Structures are given as C-alpha cells and as structure tokens.
Amino acid sequence: MQQINYFFQNLHSILGGHPWFVFFLIGTGLFFTIYLKFPQIRYFKHAIKIVKGKFDKKTDKGDTSHFQALTTALSGTVGTGNIAGVAFAIFMGGPAALFWMLVTAFFGMCTKFVEVTLSHKYRDFDEKGMVAGGPMYYMKKRLNLNLKNGKIIKTGKWLGIFFAAATILSSFGSGSMPQINSITDSVLATFGIDRIITGAVLAVLLGFVIIGGIKRIAKVTERLVPGMALIYLIGALAVIITNYQNIIPSFGAVFSNIFSGQAAVGGFLGASFAFMFNQGVNRGLFSNEAGQGSAPIAHAAAKAHEPVSEGLVAILEPFIDTIIICTITGLVLLSSGVWNEKFDNQFSNTDVIVFADTYNGDLKEDQKAISNHLLNESLLPLFSGELEIVEGEIQNELTIIHARSIAENIKVYVEEELYSGNVIVEDGKIENGEEDVIFQGESLLHSAPLTAKAFTRSFFGEWGKYIVSIGLLLFAFSTAISWSYYGDRSVTFLFGAKYVVYYRLLYVIGFFFAGFTDTTIIWNLSLLTVVFMAIPNLFGILLLHREVRSTIKNYWVKFKEENPDVKIPEKVS
C-alpha cells in the first residue's frame, strides 16, 4: 500500500502538484475574467433571477430545472472538500492556504461559467431520450483539426474519449472513494460504528438513489443540499460566536502570510510560500471543481433555451461552495485554535516518518530542519532497523513524525494491549509484520477529524462533533450521488446508455470497499483524477474563447429583444 501511495504522490508532484498546473488553472480563470470583463461580478444578480425561474419557458428542453441542476452540481462539490479539504489545506500550508482557495474560487466562477455554457450548447440526447452532455461533447463537435486540403482529423473525438475515461476514473477517485472514507472515519470516531457497517448501509442507499437516474438524483439533491447546509451553518456559527475574540486574529492569520509562507506555530512546523500556494489552489479546485469539467455534466441536463443562461447559474457554485462554506470552515478551524494543536490519536502508518536522530520541537533550528525535510528541500537521516518496544514504550533514541508534526507520548499496542517486542522500520517507514501493531500518541490532526475537534469548541461542547459527522455524512453522500451521474454520462458517451447499469453496480461496490481503505492513499488518488479531467477541459475552453464571447453577446441581444423592460448588465448593440 505504501508503494502505491508513493507512486500516486510522485505522479501528482509532476502533474497537479507542480507549479505549472497551478498557474494553468488560475491563469485560465484570470484570462476569461479579463477577456469577458468580470462576468462573475456583473452577471451575479442576473444569475440569481435565472435560478428563481424568472425567465423560464414552457418549451425549454431538459431533465431538470435550473435550481435542480444547481443543487445537483453543488451536491457534487459541497462535500469532503468543504469539511475535510479545508482542514487539510490549512494543515499542510497554514492559514494563508485558505486565501489561495478563495482566489481560486473567484476566478473559478468565471471558468465554470464558460465550461457550462459550452457543454450546454453542445449537449445531446441518448437513445433513451435523456440528456447527455458535458465537456466530452463540445470536444467531439468543436475541437477537430481541419486541414487545408479539406480533410478533418477527429482530434476532438479522441480528446473527448480521454476526458470521459478520466471522468469515470474520477467518479471513483473524487466522487466515491474519499467521500465514503471520510464518512466512515467520522462515524467511527464519533459514534463508534464500524467502518464496514457504515459503508454497507450507505452503499445500499446509494444504489436506491442512483438507479433512478438524473430525475431521481435531482429530486433528492434539491431537498438535501439546503438542509445539510443549514445544519452545518448552525454548528459553524456556534464555534465562531463562542470564540468571537479570535475572529479578527483569524482573518489576520489568513492574510498576513499570503506571499511569505507560514512560519512554525505550535505543532505546525511551517510551510514555504510555494507549498502553501500550491495546497490552497489544489484544495480550492478539489472543493469547487471549477475547470475540472464535472459540473457541466449536471448543468447540461437543465431545461434552458439558451446555454448562456445555464452558464450564468453556474457562477453561483464556487461562490456558495468555496467563498461561503469554505470560508466559514476556515474561520471555525482558526478561531477555535485547533489547527496547530496536538491531540491524542491513532497513527496512520503512511503518515509516519521515523528519523534516526532526536529533534526538539521547541528549537527553531530543529523546526526548520524538519520542515525542510517535509518540503523535500534538504533531507534528514532516516531510521532503518528495529524499534525496541517494552510495555508500549519505544526504547530507541529517535524522533517520530506523524501528520507533519513531532509525535509525543507515543504508546504501541497490539489488540488494545500494550506491546512488547520489536517493530521493523525501513527507510523511516514502519513495516508491520505478522502482528498488527498500532501506534498512538499526540500529534496534529487533519481532514475531517480536525474539523470535528474544532466543532467541539463552542457552547455545544462535545455535541459539536455530531454536527460535523452528520454534516459530513450528508455532504459526502450527496457528492457520491452526483458523481455517479457524471460517471454514467461518460459511460454513455463511450459505450452507450445500455452499459450504464454495469457502471452503477461497480460504482456502488467501489463505494462500499473504499469505506475501510487507507485515507492518505485515497486523497492522493483523488488529486490525480482531478488533474486528468482538468487538463483537456482547460485546453478546450481556451481554444474556444472567441466562440464563448460571441455566444454570450448573442444571448444578451436575444434577451433584450424578448425582455425589453428588463435592465441587463450588458451593452447590446
């Protein structure tokens, strides 16, 4: 498992984890923001009116309303990225990583506007009469290469095939696996319910929902999304209000280090600017999926006579998902003070590093040395050999890192009993032998457990963690529902609608098994699948930038003709 995890990490460092992808993602949003003159600001109010159905027509074709398309797409984005993803970004890069998540969301509002407009414009209907849309369809129809001799090379078709295949993979890597993994972890920690039981129950529920297709999915999400957002908001505001004296310092922490990186604070060992920036942008994309090309698949199903109108609806997604919900989560984590505190927890072996020497977490030079090692800037000597354990106590003189922090008060167990014996370590990594040895101690937390801990710092007390568990369950389960639709539309594009039933069965099975698979590996896989979708989609919308602008212009001309008394945010010649 560790070798698989290393492979995912190395591949991600070349693709999504490399600065070129970060600049490509933000650069695309920045380009369209300037090219289209800040549509995410100018068209915002108009987008709200469209969602309310003010300009709907009875002749509009599609499977869902504007609101249902928005809630379906939101249910695909509002999930672990909002609860666990924000916590992971701050855990990795410090408070300023939240700022770069918000920057990604602002430009992502424009990116999503563009990708949804194109996907809705070139949608199809499958052999069962259901809408089939998404970036793979505009790629197939508009990105072919025309040669001077009149010959057409179907490059768009192959690009669409690659995107659709990546979407199917991503439906497991982004939509299914990390969602159920976060749910089972949270339910186990909060209620003590075994991961397998939670996974089995939710897998059955998932199967009942997705077998009904987009119409049943839309009916579920339009009720689920507002309700789950309200529950989460109540718990979050309770933490922020209880710790009101930390609100201004929290904003200061977010904005004070946006260009300098985060110094060591408490258990947090520091992060460089490049690392912090990268984490913020990547987690921002994972949260709102702007540029990834997933949400356009849901929006393509919306009833609309103009593709631009549905593109305008999509502007609201990153705003709700990241700018509102992720900001609230970030304030909860920072105002409660849990982001750099160490808590007693069971160690994940993939998050453990055993150093050959001893280091003092209170010394700045030791903090810097460990931080540089974690950032791969200058490596420290790793321990290889046997750890000698007596009554749960490690006898060797060395330092153990867990969750990017120096672990303290470590105890070693086997089947809940203090362990005595030896544990093999190879190049700083624990190699479990015949006995299932468990390391437990104090270290930083990340992902959903960190957010759950923050929610206990309010007048709700320990009840706060139940809000996170319930919220995470609803958020993540709704995400899995939506991503099943993204995957089945991709299966339709590649193989035809008759094969969708086999995909859904495989999706539910994968959902179940991911409930008790290593969290770190799942997160690293999900980051990879995001990149596999985003790259062809970003290239595609950039190539069609002129068509996007002309399509928007024609929309406003027609809109003004049909609604002469309505004031519009666009000059129409």
**pLDDT tens by residue, the chain, 573 residues:** 667 777 777 777 777 667 788 889 889 999 999 999 999 999 999 999 999 888 888 888 887 888 888 888 787 777 667 777 888 889 999 999 999 999 999 999 999 999 999 999 999 887 777 888 899 999 999 988 776 677 777 788 899 999 999 899 888 877 787 778 778 877 887 788 888 999 899 999 989 888 877 788 888 888 887 888 888 889 999 999 999 999 999 999 999 889 888 888 888 988 888 888 888 887 887 678 888 898 899 888 888 888 999 999 999 999 998 899 889 999 999 999 999 999 999 998 888 999 999 999 889 999 999 999 988 889 999 999 999 999 999 999 999 999 999 999 999 999 889 999 999 999 999 886 656 889 999 999 988 789 889 999 999 898 888 888 888 788 788 888 888 889 999 999 999 988 999 999 999 998 888 887 765 666 677 678 778 888 999 999 999 999 999 999 999 999 998 888 888 888 775
HEC profile for 159-183?
HHHHHHHHHHHHHHHHHHHHHHHHH
CA 11/CA 32 separation, integer angstroms: 29
Reference 504, options 521, 485, 522; nearest CA is: 485
Tokens of 402: 């867990």
Residue 413 zone, left/alpha/beta (φ > 0; ψ -120 to 50; rest): beta
- Phi then psi for residue 390, to 5 deg, are -125, 115
User: Do residues 182 and 83 make contact, with C-beta atoms less than 8 angstroms apart?
Assistant: yes
CA 200/CA 515 separation, integer angstroms: 9
CA dist list (Å): 444 to 299, 327, 342 = 39, 21, 4
CA 279/CA 101 separation, integer angstroms: 8
CA 429/CA 441 separation, integer angstroms: 17
User: What pLDDT score was predicted for residue 305?
Assistant: 82
User: What pLDDT score was predicted for residue 522?
Assistant: 65
User: H or E stretch including 131?
Assistant: strand 131-132
CA 283/CA 328 separation, integer angstroms: 15
3-state secondary structure at position 107: helix
User: What pLDDT score was predicted for residue 434?
Assistant: 56
CA 461/CA 32 separation, integer angstroms: 45
Domain boundary assignment for the chain:
2-151+170-341+454-562, 345-443
Under DSSP, the state recorded for 418 is E
User: What pLDDT score was predicted for residue 520?
Assistant: 64
User: What pLDDT score was predicted for residue 471?
Assistant: 80
Domain 2-151+170-341+454-562 has CATH 1.20.1740: yes
Cα atoms found within 13 Å of the Cα of residue 540, Cβ hemisphere only: 34
Give me the residues paired with residue 265 across strands. 268
Q: Within the chain, what is the greatest distance between any pair of CA atoms?
A: 83
3-state secondary structure at position 393: strand
CA 427/CA 392 separation, integer angstroms: 22
User: Do residues 499 and 491 make contact, with C-beta atoms less than 8 angstroms apart?
Assistant: yes
Whole-prediction pTM: 0.85
User: What pLDDT score was predicted for residue 462?
Assistant: 87
CA 89/CA 91 separation, integer angstroms: 5
